[in-house]
Amino acid sequence: MEGLRTAGSPGPLPFLSQVRETAEMIKIGHSVFALPFAVASMALAMRAEGRWSLRATIWIVVCAVAARTAAMAQNRLLDARLDAGNPRTAGRALPAGRVTRGFVVALVLASSAAFVAGAGQLNRLCLLLSPAVLLVLLAYPYAKRFTALCHLWLGVSLGLSPLGAWVAVRGSFEGIATPLLLGGAVTLWTAGFDLIYACQDVAHDRAAGLFSGPARLGVAGALRLSVALHVACFALLALLYAVNPDVSWAYGIGLVAAGALLVYEHSIVSPGDLSRVDTAFFTLNGLVSLVLGGLTVADAFL
């Protein structure tokens, strides 16, 4: 069965139109969430190594984009029937029948292959670890079907990117404390903002028997947990500033700016008003990543 469309809906679009629809469906632009942190970890690793490599930079970016594309396409594929039953997501390309399941399966396979191939271009350790990383990423869509820790699972999926970038540069786990702190912060940050986003679907998730945080804790409880996760995230970022001699004033400015953005993010959402969830989720978190990641890169090369 190629699609989920109803009898009266149009068939799948031509190939190039499906490419455009799929790029929108998997939100290619939202690579901005994890990619700056991967690049920041890469820059710190290169500073520790005392060298800069254009080749490694290119392949790290390729791997980061390929991994995210595979994970998002897999998520949309496995959630297509759930999306069809949710008024907020029923218009997405797969449930609406504008893109075929076969097309998205091919994208998952091609992106996964590109990720493994890219890892092989970096070093042997990256190649050996790439299947385990893919397993974490591609299994994520199943998480909300059996655990309310699904938001943390998503966090781990993004939090692996600084670790991967570090190993890509150094070829070993030497100095792993730096990417562990950065990856831990990304994990908590992602889980926190995903809880905010999931508050929009609390009624659907409960009706569908899904184990999201808001379905389990209620909107108010989920928002309180999100605050706690973001406080812990800030604490890890501050600890990185305190213990790593390779970060200084530029990272410190980014840290303060990220903290201010997170405070503002939580000030514009409440159990009684979720109207600005998109601003909190997309705009502000994109700024957190760009500002902190960009200033960390600048710090590494100053």
For 23-89, the three-class secondary structure string (H helix, E strand, C coil) is HHHCCHHHHHCCHHHHHHHHHHHHHHHCCCCHHHHHHHHHHHHHHHHHHHHHHHHHCHHHHHCCCCC
Structure tokens at 2: 């190629």
| Residue found under tokens 């409440």 | 270
Radius of gyration for the chain, computed over Cα atoms and rounded to the nearest angstrom: 19
Report the run of H or E that residue 183 belongs to, with start and end: helix 177-198
- Predicted pLDDT of residue 100: 86
pLDDT in tens, 114-162: 999 999 999 999 999 999 999 999 999 999 999 999 999 999 999 999 9
| Sequential pLDDT tens for the chain (302 residues) | 344 444 445 556 666 666 676 666 666 666 667 899 999 999 999 999 988 999 999 999 999 999 999 999 999 999 999 999 999 888 888 888 888 899 889 999 999 999 999 999 999 999 999 999 999 999 999 999 999 999 999 999 999 999 999 999 999 999 999 999 999 999 999 999 999 999 999 999 999 999 999 999 999 999 999 999 999 999 999 999 999 988 999 999 999 999 999 999 999 999 999 999 988 888 898 899 999 999 999 988 87
Which is the CATH superfamily of the domain at 15-301?
A: UbiA prenyltransferase (1.10.357.140)
Identify any residues that bridge with 270 across adjacent strands, giving them in sequence order: 273
Instruction: HSE, CB side, 13 Å, CA atoms: give it for residue 246.
Output: 20
Q: What is the DSSP letter of 245?
A: T
Distances, alpha carbon 51 to alpha carbons 44, 126, 169, in Å: 10, 19, 10
Tell me the three state secondary structure of residue 273: strand
The whole model's pTM is what?
0.90
Q: Are 139 and 150 in contact (CB under 8 A)?
A: no
Task: Give the distance from CA 273 to its chain's centroid.
Answer: 25
Phi/psi at 270 (5° precision):
-155, 165
Residue pair 43/297 in contact (Cβ under 8 Å)? The answer is yes
